[in-house]
Amino acid sequence: MALMWSELSVLFRRRRTIVMLAALALIPVLVAVAVRISSAGSSGRGPAFINQIAGNGLFVSLVALTICIPLFLPLTVGVVAGDTIAGEASLGTLRYLLVSPAGRIRMLVVKYIAAIVFTAAATVVIVVAGIVVGAILFPVGPVTLLSGGTISIGESVVRALLIASYVTVSLLGLSAIGVFISTLTDVPVGAMAATVVISIVAQVADSLPQLDWLHPWLFSHYWLNFADLLRQPIEWSSFGSNALLQLGYVVVFGALAYGRFSSKDVLS
C-alpha cells in the first residue's frame, strides 16, 4: 500500500504528468471558446453534439471527449504506461526498486494501477473542465438525450461521470499493452511511441470494412460507443462488451508482462 502511495505521488508530482493533464483540460476550453467566438451555427459539420453547445454548455465535455478519444487520450496513456518500467530502467532506479522486498509482481501491479489512476484522472479532468467552461460561457439547462428525451442537470452530471468511467474502462487494454511493451525495453520513448502507434493502427484497422471480422477484437472498437449511455433507456450492452473485451486484453498482456518482467535480467 505504501508502495502504491509513493508511486502515485511520484507520478502526479511529475511535471510531465501535470502538463499532460493541463493540456487535456485545455481542449474543452478551446472547443468552448471557438464555438463562443464563431457562434454562427454551422449545422451538420464538425464533431457530434457541437451544434448543441451554444444552447447548453454541458455538451462541451461530450464534444471534448469525442475529440480526445481517438488521439489525445491514447497519447497520454501511452506516455504514462510506456514509461512505467522502461522509465525506471533508463534512470537506473529499477534495480534499487527491486532490491526492496516488494517483489516483481507487486511492482508490476502497482505500476499498472498507477497508469489506470492516471487514465481516470485524465478523463475526469476533461469532463470536469468541459462542464466548468461550458457553464461559464453558455447557458446550462436540462440535457437532450440522443433518443430525444431530456434529463435534469443533476442526472446529466451523473451520466457524464458514467461516461468518464466508460472511457477509463475503454483504455484499460491500451494501458496493459503499454506496460507490457515497457517491460521489453530500457528506452521509455520507444515504449511510449510503440503504444501510441498500436492504438492508431487499431483504429485504422477498425475503419477498414475489409477487416470487419477483426473489428470486435480490437481494443479500440467500442471507444466511441460511450454515446450509448446517452440513450433512453441506457444501452448497457456496449458497456458490458467493452468491459469484457478490455478484461481479455488486461489478462493476456498482464500475463505477458509478468512473463517478461519476472524473467528479465535487470542490469540497469
Partner 1 sequence: MTQWKRWIPAGVASVVVAGVAIAVPLSANATAALPSKTAEQVIALVTNSSVTAFSGTVQQSSNLGLPSLPAGASSSLGSSSTATPGATASTGGSGSTSSADISSALELLTGSHTARVYVDGPTNVRVQVLDQLAERDVIRGGTDLWAYDSSKQTAVHSTLPAKSDSTATPTPTDTATPDQLAQKFLDAVDPSTGVAVGGDVTVDGRSAYDLVLTPATTDSLVGNVSIAVDSATGLPLQVEVTAKGASDPAFSSELTGLSLDTPSADLFSFTPPAGTAVTEKTLSAPDPSATADSKAKAAAAAKPVVTGTGWSSIVELPAASGSDAAALTSNPLVAQLTTPVTGGRLLSTTLVNVLLTTDGRVFAGSVSAEQLEAAAAATPAAQ
Q: Which is nearer to partner 1, 117 or 225 (CB)?
A: 225
Q: Are 245 and 173 in contact (CB under 8 A)?
A: yes
Q: Does 52 bind partner 1 (CB under 8 A)?
A: yes
Q: Which is nearer to partner 1, 46 or 190 (CB)?
A: 46
**Can you say how many angstroms the Cα of residue 185 is from the centroid of all Cα atoms in its chain?**
23
Count of residues in contact with partner 1, rule CB under 8 A: 36
Cα–Cα distance measured from residue 168 to residue 76, given in angstroms and rounded to the nearest whole number: 12
- Picking from 202, 3, 213, 168, the residue whose alpha carbon sits closest to that of residue 76 is 168
Provide the mask over 227-266, with x wherever binding to partner 1 is found by CB under 8 A and - wherever it is not: xx--xxx-x-x----------x--xx-xxx-xx--xx---
Among 46, 51, 120, 162, binds partner 1 (CB under 8 A): 51
Q: Which is nearer to partner 1, 190 or 254 (CB)?
A: 254
Classify residue 139 by its DSSP letter. -
Cell digits for 231?
440513450
Task: Output the smallest distance, CB 233 to partner 1, in A.
Answer: 8
Among 37, 44, 45, 101, binds partner 1 (CB under 8 A): 44
Provide the mask over 84-123, with x wherever binding to partner 1 is found by CB under 8 A and - wherever it is not: ----------------------------------------
Q: Which is nearer to partner 1, 14 or 260 (CB)?
A: 260
CA dist 169 → 1, 29, 66, 131, 151 (Å): 23, 24, 15, 21, 24
Cα–Cα distance measured from residue 196 to residue 204, given in angstroms and rounded to the nearest whole number: 12
Cell digits for 31?
472547443
Cell digits for 67?
475529440
Provide the mask over 118-157, with x wherever binding to partner 1 is found by CB under 8 A and - wherever it is not: -----------------------x--x-xxxxx-------
Q: Which is nearer to partner 1, 14 or 104 (CB)?
A: 104
Q: Using CB under 8 A, which of the segments 24-32, 72-80, 187-195, 219-227 binds partner 1?
A: 219-227
Cα–Cα distance measured from residue 126 to residue 65, given in angstroms and rounded to the nearest whole number: 7
Q: Name, in order, each residue with C-beta under 8 angstroms of 239's C-beta and a sequence gap of 6 or more.
A: 166, 169, 228, 229
Q: Does 46 bind partner 1 (CB under 8 A)?
A: no
Q: Which is nearer to partner 1, 92 or 259 (CB)?
A: 259
Q: Does 203 bind partner 1 (CB under 8 A)?
A: no
Cα–Cα distance measured from residue 81 to residue 181, given in angstroms and rounded to the nearest whole number: 9
Q: Which is nearer to partner 1, 49 or 118 (CB)?
A: 49
Q: Name, in order, each residue with C-beta under 8 angstroms of 14's C-beta and a sequence gap of 6 or more.
A: none
Return the beta strands (E) in the chain as ranges: 143-144, 150-151
Using left for φ > 0, alpha for ψ between -120 and 50, and beta otherwise, residue 258 falls in: alpha
Interface residues toward partner 1, by CB under 8 A: 43-44, 48-49, 51-52, 55, 66, 141, 144, 146-150, 209, 217, 224-225, 227-228, 231-233, 235, 237, 248, 251-252, 254-256, 258-259, 262-263
